[in-house]
Structure 1
Amino acid sequence: MQKLQIHFLGGSGTVTGSKFYLHTDEIKILVDCGFFQGAKELRKQNWESLPIQVSEIDVVLLTHGHLDHCGYLPLLVKQGFRGKILGTEPTLEIARIILEDSAKIQEEEAERANTEGYSKHHPALPLYTQKDVAFCLRLFESIEEGEINTLSENCTARYHYNGHIIGSTYIEINLFDKVFVFSGDVGRQEDELLRPPKQPEWADYLFVESTYGDRLHPEEDVEAILDNLVDRAIEERGVLIIPSFAVERLQSLMYQLWKLYKRNTIPNIPIFVDSPMGINVLKVFEHFPEWHKLPSTEYRNMQNRITLVGSYGETWETIDDPRPKIVIAGSGMVTGGRVLTYIQQLGDLESTTILLVGYQAEETRGRKLLEGASELKIFGKLIPIKAEIHHLESLSAHADQKELLEWMGTIKNIPEKVFLIHGEPPAMETYQHKIVEKFGWKCHIPKLNEIVELYL
């Protein structure tokens, strides 16, 4: 009999910072290595070393390349990790783009804080640098979706397509003849760009996200909403600002707007995409056509219709452009990136519209806007908000409660335990009741830094 310890180092009681550590005498595995976002108390943990022997970790398995699943990797390496970091080829490419961008933003914000003197820390420092990221990338090793990978004598791992973003998977770990399934972030059954997620057939222990475990996505007429907001921007001679996640959401929005323009539903209004990371992700879509369903001709036509903003100088040129316009800029929860500059300069105008797309975590600026904030703190200063705020939830890249239950519904056995992860407490508790009601399975909601022991 083998003892397994599972350390819930992130993504537990929260939607960010996903890190799940499987510790046995034979092999030590970290599933995802995410960055904490949102609440200050969570973000503080990014500055702390993990409460494990990092140098003992043999391998990191990445479900996908979002910051809350890969953003802590450079810090893991700084703390002594020297094993392999495994993911699908597009996941590793997305992770590279996101980590390089994250380091660049941190360096720029630290420099700005030191110059303007608004940080409590003297000097303000980035969590990690672009050099740290470059060192971390040496450990990346790609694997094929669907193939069995031998990690040790009694452990294999297999990655399965699960939608959400390009390259995203759920991971099936066979450890001492027990099957551990980590859902990652499960995608939608119907998505503009991605195919429906594959579904697990067996799970002795299931670790499933619960971001939308307490709700269904509303049935919104996305095209009509976008059409109305574009009309408002034209009538008010204002700007429609869409904060967007750089991976999948940004490309999906581009495609939606391109389709509206192609059908003459919206006029030839200037559309700017100001996200260096999002622009780089477009190249990933081009390089990995087998991972999505956007035809190459549509991809090229869409790009030709939209202005891609490269430099920060071009950001200011876009702001100063007096024409009514649409600006899609990172980040999706307004936690950083170029969108902060647009809101800082244009958020106090009644002619401005801000369209939030998808999930907004607790205490992020995006959540505060949804809750009616009259001002936001940006770059150390309070900025009044007079812009009109809208929310489109149906474009979320996460499965809702119904879709999650359907995703789990193909499991043929009765799991020994279901662990609910990657969700806020109300969503987890509601989803737990639904699982018990529908399947009768035993569920556990782990706390942050909790350790669960199993005997295999």
Structure 2
Amino acid sequence: MKVTFIGGAGVVTGSKTLVENNGIKILIDCGLFQGIKPLRELNWLPLPISAASIDCVLLTHGHLDHCGWLPLLVDQGFSGKIYCSNPTMAIAKLILMDSAKIQEEEANKANKENYSKHEIAKPLYTVAQAKKVFPLFHVVKINESIPLAGGVSALFTNAGHIIGACSIQLKSEDKTLVFSGDIGRDNDVLMFPPTKPKNADYVFLESTYGNRLHPDTDAKSELAIEINNAFNKKGTVIIPSFAVERAQGIMYLLWQLRLENKIPDIPYIIDSPMGVSAFDVFLNNSNWHKISVADCVAMSKMFTMITDYKDTLTAISDKQPKVVIAASGMVTGGRVLSYLQEFIGTPETTVIIVGYQAEGTRGRKLTEGANEVKIYGKQYPVLGRITEIKGLSAHGDQKDLLNWLSELKHKPKKVFLVHGENQPADELRLKIIEKYGFDCCIPLMGQEFEL
């Protein structure tokens, strides 16, 4: 058995892990690289192996950095099954369509306004290419072993994080591999705690927050303070948010605050076609989260749900105080850019960052105190208040990640730390050695291991 780390090694993006066993090739996740330009440029390169030679893809969840390269995989010849949970299939379809549409729109805009460095800007993939992925999805039930090929079986278990997210256990004749996917928090607002593995010879553990502990603060109260301060200044609050889970979690907290009369009666806007559609996925998969269908319906009535961009322009032109939740969460694209173009240069504006911001993203630059930000080829001064509420992350912190390993019945032969930048991964490595004495390794991009 051989494992190759094609992506998601040393970075929090582009997750792709290839497992080869008895002539069978299995790809765990197929994510898009995001962040700094050298990483984004990797998206344009073909896989180091033939896409047509891959037998199947196992998808942990529907975030872009785990599923966003699937259209290119199919375009380069992959024709096998893509195994995932039912909510993950629904979310992945939304995210792939949104990604393709944004890429087409940005390429057209770059060509029209002539700010691309290329003679003709092209999208990484199109809506038509994204749709070709859909027939390959194959829904699996969690906690039920499914046979793949080459004597390998797979078992999907709940990982928390976002709706439908799973960890994946691969078993061959004499080896058990466990891929964590992205691990959620043990005390998440929306999601149930992740299921801990009991047996594993090899563990592939994400390390996004490997060096961080979530603050022991009340995110709900922090939201109320920021919204009331902005309201008193007659300013707009912009919350860049991932359309899946994060947006719904913020909606739930804002709904509670309004019920308690702790925030003002002003417009509360969800401006994300994908976020609106993702809310339907929550309604249709109530067994995957803590909120009842009745509460989901009740809280949705508090928000203006925008899908048409004409309504976005209307909301932007309305200068009364309001709260806008818009994608993308790392401020790399989407409707949030239109709001920032209008409001980032206004001192009354408050921008609340609520999730992980990868290196090289606008969100990371804003949290690091950038004085200006580039949007669609133009620089905008950052005069609004930029603040970060860290207690809203959908990722488990160092304590959660260590706890996820706590029920293993025997010491694994090796723990690979993936999907994390080098420093967080290394600090988590030291903590795992200190607490459990496990053999830990931080693989490099492209590195191969014989198991």
Answer whether TM exceeds 0.5 for this pair: yes
Give 2:240's aligned residue: 243
Aligned runs of 1:138-149 on 2, under 5 Å?
A: 138-149=135-146
Give 2:257's aligned residue: 260
Residues 1:315 and 2:321 aligned together: no
Q: Is the 8 A contact 1:26 1:152 kept in 2?
A: no
Of 170, 175, 178, the residue aligned with 2:175 is: 178
Distance 1:17 1:218 in 2: 28
> Bigger CA drift: 129-138 or 57-66?
129-138
Give 1:291's aligned residue: 288
Give 1:302's aligned residue: 299
Matched residue type, 1:434: K
3-state SS of paired residue (1:394): helix
Of 119, 133, 136, the residue aligned with 1:136 is: 133
Matched residue type, 2:128: K
Q: Is the 8 A contact 1:32 1:69 kept in 2?
A: yes
> Bigger CA drift: 189-198 or 237-246?
189-198
Matched residue type, 1:411: L
Matched residue type, 2:309: Y
Of 401, 407, 410, the residue aligned with 1:410 is: 407
Q: Is the 8 A contact 2:81 2:138 kept in 1?
A: yes
Give 2:343's aligned residue: 346
Give 1:68's aligned residue: 65
Structure 1 unaligned regions, length at least 5:
none
Give 1:55's aligned residue: 52
3-state SS of paired residue (1:272): strand
Q: Is the 8 A contact 1:212 1:427 kept in 2?
A: yes
Residues 1:93 and 2:52 aligned together: no
Q: Is the 8 A contact 2:160 2:184 kept in 1?
A: yes
Matched residue type, 1:177: D
Cα shift at 1:323: 1.2
3-state SS of paired residue (2:30): coil
Give 2:118's aligned residue: 121
Q: Give the count of matched residue pairs.
A: 451
Matched residue type, 1:233: A
Q: Is the 8 A contact 1:358 1:395 kept in 2?
A: yes
Residues 1:112 and 2:109 aligned together: yes
3-state SS of paired residue (1:285): helix
Distance 1:358 1:113 in 2: 28
Distance 1:14 1:450 in 2: 14
Alignment deviations for residues 261-291 of structure 1 (CA, whole Å, 9 cap, x no partner): 0111112121011011111100000111111
Percent of aligned pairs with the same residue?
Answer: 51
Cα shift at 1:248: 0.2
Give 1:83's aligned residue: 80
3-state SS of paired residue (1:383): strand
Cα shift at 1:177: 2.2
Residues 1:10 and 2:11 aligned together: no
Of 442, 448, 452, the residue aligned with 2:449 is: 452
Moved over 4 A (4+): none
Q: Is the 8 A contact 2:24 2:150 kept in 1?
A: no
Matched residue type, 2:176: V
Q: Is the 8 A contact 1:19 1:32 kept in 2?
A: yes
Distance 2:300 2:251 in 1: 8
Give 1:360's aligned residue: 357
